[in-house]
Structure 1
Amino acid sequence: MEGFDEVVAKALDDFQVPGVGIGVIVDGHLVYAKGIGYRDLENKVPVTPDTLFAIGSCTKAFTAFIVGSLIDEGLLSWDEFVIDVLPEFRLWDQYATQNLKIRDLLTHRTGMPRHDFMWYNSALTRLEVMKRLRFLEPSLDIRERYQYNNLMYLTAGYAIEQMTGKTWEEIVIGRILKPLGMNHTNFSIDAMQQSHDFSYPYLERGKQLRRIPFRNISVIGPAGSINSSVNDLAQWIQMQMNRGVFNDQILISPSTLQEMHSPQVIIPGVPESKESLLYAYGIGWAILSYKGHYYVSHDGGVDGFTSVVGFLPHEKVGLIILCNKNLTTLPRYLSLQIIDKILNIPSVDWLAEGVDGIRKYQETMKEKRAHEDMMRKKGTNPSHALEEYVGEYEHPGYGKVNIDLVDGKLRATFNGIACLLDHWHYDIFTVSDEAQDLIISLEGMKFTFRNSIDGEIAELTIPFEPTANDVVYKRKPTEVLSTTAYLRQFVGNYEIYGYTVEIILRDRTLAAIIPGQPCYELVPHGENEFTVKSMTGYTVRFIMDPERNLVEEVLLIQPYGAFRAKPKNLP
């Protein structure tokens, strides 16, 4: 690795990365363990081999390993049905619910797209996330194709907790961290910042590099919350290459580990280069054929950190690359540069390729913005005054979005994330500014408001998941429209064409009783207006006498017409 420090230092400058921790293992020995650059850029504090970084999705191999250890004990099998382990488990699709297997959770072939914004920055517990899975729409059939998903690793972690009676964190400590002597590794941003040697997270926006706050992702822990260092992860990789043995202790059987390192599903898409023509996913690991060499690895990315952890089992070469910049491609290209150097094979200038890739990406994004602006219908206006968009919108899986008005602009807030909305065209608004830095910026995302049949704003749709349908949030009535005092004013008997319609109040809910028909529940929709539950296009509107504050008449609005009912015994 002679002269490599200078290569890395230049790469940090080219990729605009503050610091990196690098570990290289050859034939059971950690031959290179260094920190280059800064873990604290502002105070020029250097990275060391013990500096903690968030490793993101490299955590998935730890969760898969725990499942493998339970399989070795006969408590589980790769092909056991999830619902047999978690009877409360439910997905959108009943067939998937009944037939999904543990293997499917860990190989990203459940048919479920990422749906990351349903949990990102939320205060939900793992159990609460589990209960919401049934409301998240799939984009593929079960086992149709590889589709990366963090929520299914959360599900696997939750299953581990239910089977063992311990938290996922406790199990990982007992079965992996302690036996391997990974004494500095932890699971939370609080524990990380209590360490004497940790890195701050950084992000580049507008060609400016700046420190950002740590992001708490503990809820999705089994998919990505581990924080570790080069020296600690070297032990983990040593054990992987030594077929599950560390210091003469067998932590997992070779056959189980081999299953995890074997391709389970092809990752679709055109190969990134002619050096890597086959890309697959194992169980917690990605598998790549790199220049004819079997390469097992995983990338990781959380707010302000990016990493690669991998090994070539046949050559007994392992590598760890930990960076403190948001979604940088440096670890990927640096890993390939290291492999070429260690194996002494003809090398592509991967770092130059990476820099060129950044340039091409920036050009593509510039063209995309220009094209998007051409698609905008200029000179249009919203269908309502901005005040009328204000309110609370809700989706059973994604939760709530609050829309309010700030200095003449709409502001959307979800999971504690606030962003300003500029009018785009018609009833579509675009995210123009974010109150905090996110792992993936929402700027430019389109929020679409929809009107009900009576012309009132009823829904908000957001394309949070690009491979599935837009998420549809239903507008909630204001709290005052659901109070008993408010609802009581509509109770009474009303006459229409000689029939009596009785409006009653039952369990803080209005209902309409019509002779010879079922009881219809009325759902608050707006001031003095209700929709009929489970009946599209049916609305009940109470017309009030403003002087006496009494019901003057009732409009029964149906898809084929509107009918008037008068109060009986009107004083």
Structure 2
Amino acid sequence: MKLKLAIQGMLLHACLLVVLMLPAWAIAKETPESTAVQLELLADALEAKRQELHIPGMAIAVIQDGQLIMARGFGHRDLAQQLPVTTDTLFAIGSTSKALTATLIGTLVDEGTISWDDELSQYLPEYRFSQEDQSVPITFRDSLSHRTGYSRNDLLWANGQATREQILRTAPGAEPWDKFRESFHYNNVMYLAAGQAAAHAKGVNWDEWLSNELFKPLGMKQATSVFEQAMNRPVIATGYVWNDATEQHLTLPRRNLNNVTPAGGVWADVNDMAQWVRMLLNQGQYNGQQIISKEQLDNTWSPQVRVGAGVDYGFGWFLQSWQGQSVIEHGGSIDGYAAQVALLPESNLGFVLLTNVTATPLQQSSMNLVWEHLASTAQGVSKTTSTEDFKPFVGEYLANFASFKDDVFEVLITEQGTLAVDVPGQMIYELKAPDVDGRRYFTLTDTVAVSFDHDDNGQVMALRMHQNRMNFELPRKDVLIKPEIDPQLLQPYLGQYQSTIFNGAIEVKIQNHRLTLDVPNEMAFELHQPDDEGLRQFRIKDDMSARFIEDDSGKITALELYRDRTRKLDTASKIAGNEPDQTKLSVADVLAIGKPEQRKAALEAGKVFTLKGTIKVLNSGVTGTVSTTFDAGNKFRQHINLAPFGDVIVVVDGDSGATWGINPYTELHGKYLRQMHNEHPAVAFNVQDHFDHIQVVGKRVRDGRDVHVLRLKDQDLPSVTVMLDANTGDLLRYRTRVLNMVTGSVPVTIEYSDHREVHGLRMPFKSTITNPMMGKLLLEYDEIQANVTVSDDLFSTARPKSAD
């Protein structure tokens, strides 16, 4: 379970979400010498990764052929007291709880009490969704496979105060993010609903049922889904998060998940989880007792919805493959803890990894470590050390795809001598050896790979990212891309084309000397040169093509989009007056339209301002209030009240900043503080004082208005793309990625409207904020006050008592 929440209003945001090595092995049987050697090597590899990834402590248990062949603790459960992790150390297992929930529900299917295809509302009458006055028949199958079309609404449970009943009553008021049963959209509340519906069908309390039906029969002695019971266990790990800005571990309070237990509220140690894994690998049987039938267990491992290329989701499990074998796995993350459970059934091999840090790349990479040390050995596959010279690949590559804008991917050689890619805002991903097609897959997953383009002299010219059947090209930073055609010949195609299938206009522009389609709410797609039929294939997606239509005079009038060259998807007519802007206004000229000096004078005259209004979290069904107070300098405070689901407070005061509320109190430092500085409401009037580099990208027509597009950059923060009204200077659109020390970065788009002249300021009173973690939010201010008298401590970033 990952708690990741970003709320933005104006230009503000508050992000929520998330060495001692024990000498003795716990081995249930005498292992062959070769396996024992591999276990020692595995332990060394895990310890190296633990230190590299700043994990305070962790424990692992490995099951093979029905036997516990490894159980071990690494590092510390408590850094302050230097207490070691042992196999008895209790951890939160997060969303790996989902598989327990799905299995428990499967036992009801075995009994004939319910069917996977029963609607939840049959057992929870209040949990009934509707769209366009039509009921949405959400079943156990839909909710357990995340295919309902409703996105994350973690806001409903995050503060731990709302009851299960309150959550389930509120959730049906949410707007869908996608069409029903068409796509994968992770949703914890759907798991709460499925668990509660099953418990109602059984006529029992969920937590007691889970304990009696699974924990006790499996001998999971410490495991519990009740927070208070977990806190009374004798040995429990302290939870941490690594702050890369300060390079320190922050201690996190333990989050009470009693209100959403079926989705991720279980606590256990690796001894407990080893019994769970043993039962799963033994086709549902444990010590002669059939806990769940093989048929229903297989159902939980059966693909229900596609997640991405090579990855499906069953019931509580992600389904992928490794070297031709099926992998059944799921990770979990909650404040201070991260877990991974993974099975390789064909090798009769599985493991559980528990850590005391919020989200870590080791969750995914641990699978390859275990499989390569134990499954490869069992199959007689030898491991070799690469002698390839990686130096020609080392360098910086420019990324302009998805949410990346002028970002730099660095290819480097790790201390272990492996090739890796440093993805900005994420992590360093190690690469495997190239396959026959030259693709080097990430060691974390078989679904993402890179390859390299070379010129005729063998020099590396570009990096390619292969993911989800797409092929993203990242030119090398120090290599000049040569135009394939005289750029003047591309000018007639440039402009905007009104799409019939996308919400907005497709912009045709030049990027990397190539004709490029910038699709609204998608990304920019560079095109190849046209073939004999006039079709220009997308450079990153070979099953997509575009063709331009001319009239009798040779003027470009429309753009056609095709899939597989024959299936026409869209005919977008060229919008008159959208030819490229030839005025080439300077940055100063564009910014002057908004009268920045006049606005700054009004700010200084008003001294302190307060904006008040409402906020609607549309995809959670929650409405609250928002109050934003700011001065003409660099102080501001925003308070979002979403009672009973908690509040969010963010404060910046010069060289200090902090946020608290639904998430624990967190001081902001380094890039996180600078990011918040750049979201002061007054930034809209004086961007030149907040960004190192400002570039005028061009002039467009958006919703019938002429707009200037600017790209802003501040040191190592993600770039920001803004649209300003060409006549008023109003800020209309703001698009960037919000950095988070847990998630890396989250793409965010804000649309501004309802601009009003108040107190000498030109302010947008309505903002629509969209990000993939929270969905869509609507913020509307209804009043603004100037010369507000505030208390001396309003902008204090000191830890308040309410945050304890």
- TM, length-normalised to structure 2: 0.51
Stretch moving more, 165-174 or 23-32: 165-174
> 2 CA distance for matches of 1:119 and 1:356?
41
- CA drift of 1:301 comes to 1.0
**2:187 is the alignment partner of 1:187:** no
- 1:89-488 aligned at under 5 Å gives the runs 89-93=127-131, 97-121=135-159, 123-205=161-243, 206=245, 207-269=247-309, 278-343=310-375, 344=377, 345-346=381-382, 359-362=422-425, 387-391=609-613, 393=615, 397-405=621-629, 408-414=635-641, 415-420=646-651, 422-423=680-681, 424-425=683-684, 440=743, 451=754, 459=766, 461-463=768-770, 465=772, 468=775, 470-473=776-779
> 1 CA distance for matches of 2:258 and 2:58?
24
Q: Is the contact made by 1:54 and 1:305 (CA closer than 8 Å) also made in structure 2?
A: yes
Distance 1:443 1:247, change over 3 A: closer
> 1 CA distance for matches of 2:731 and 2:239?
37
- CA drift of 1:389 comes to 0.7
Distance 1:261 1:93, change over 3 A: same
Q: SS state of the match for residue 60, structure 2?
A: strand
- CA drift of 1:107 comes to 0.8
Distance 1:194 1:254, change over 3 A: same
- CA drift of 1:416 comes to 3.1
Deviations 1:71-112 (A, max 9, x none): 111111011223323222222525874422210111111111
Q: Is the contact made by 1:422 and 1:429 (CA closer than 8 Å) also made in structure 2?
A: no
> 2 CA distance for matches of 1:467 and 1:443?
10
Structure 2 residues not aligned, in runs of 5+: 1-38, 387-413, 429-473, 475-586, 652-678, 685-729, 785-804
Q: SS state of the match for residue 340, structure 2?
A: strand
Distance 1:53 1:133, change over 3 A: same
Distance 1:363 1:234, change over 3 A: closer
> 1 CA distance for matches of 2:164 and 2:640?
22
The residue number in structure 2 matching 1:490 is none
Stretch moving more, 334-343 or 387-396: 387-396
- 1:54-93 aligned at under 5 Å gives the runs 54-93=92-131
Bigger strand share:
2
- CA drift of 1:248 comes to 1.4
- CA drift of 1:428 comes to 9.1
> 1 CA distance for matches of 2:624 and 2:48?
46
Q: Is the contact made by 2:616 and 2:777 (CA closer than 8 Å) also made in structure 1?
A: no
Q: Give the number of aligned pairs.
A: 458
- CA drift of 1:302 comes to 0.9
- CA drift of 1:125 comes to 1.3
Distance 1:186 1:361, change over 3 A: farther
- CA drift of 1:377 comes to 6.8
> 2 CA distance for matches of 1:94 and 1:114?
21
- CA drift of 1:334 comes to 1.8
Q: Is the contact made by 1:337 and 1:349 (CA closer than 8 Å) also made in structure 2?
A: no
> 2 CA distance for matches of 1:348 and 1:304?
36
Residue 27 of structure 1 aligns with an amino acid whose one-letter code is D
Q: Is the contact made by 1:393 and 1:460 (CA closer than 8 Å) also made in structure 2?
A: no
- CA drift of 1:6 comes to 2.6
- CA drift of 1:169 comes to 1.3
Stretch moving more, 348-357 or 253-262: 348-357
Structure 1 residues not aligned, in runs of 5+: 270-277, 368-373, 479-571
- 1:508-519 aligned at under 5 Å gives the runs none
Distance 1:349 1:197, change over 3 A: farther
Q: 1:51 aligns with which of 75, 84, 89?
A: 89
Residue 360 of structure 1 aligns with an amino acid whose one-letter code is V
Q: Is the contact made by 1:26 and 1:317 (CA closer than 8 Å) also made in structure 2?
A: yes
- CA drift of 1:475 comes to 5.6
> 1 CA distance for matches of 2:385 and 2:159?
38
Distance 1:122 1:363, change over 3 A: closer
Bigger helix share:
1
Q: Is the contact made by 2:94 and 2:265 (CA closer than 8 Å) also made in structure 1?
A: yes
Distance 1:474 1:69, change over 3 A: farther
Stretch moving more, 448-457 or 298-307: 448-457
Distance 1:133 1:289, change over 3 A: same
- TM, length-normalised to structure 1: 0.71
Q: Is the contact made by 1:279 and 1:286 (CA closer than 8 Å) also made in structure 2?
A: yes
> 1 CA distance for matches of 2:415 and 2:295?
40
Q: SS state of the match for residue 171, structure 1?
A: helix
Distance 1:457 1:441, change over 3 A: same
> 2 CA distance for matches of 1:102 and 1:110?
10
Residue 422 of structure 1 aligns with an amino acid whose one-letter code is H
Question: Cα RMSD between the aligned structures?
Answer: 3.8
Residue 412 of structure 1 aligns with an amino acid whose one-letter code is H
Stretch moving more, 137-146 or 59-68: 137-146
- CA drift of 1:252 comes to 1.3
Q: Is the contact made by 1:26 and 1:316 (CA closer than 8 Å) also made in structure 2?
A: yes
> 2 CA distance for matches of 1:150 and 1:353?
38
Q: Percent identity?
A: 28
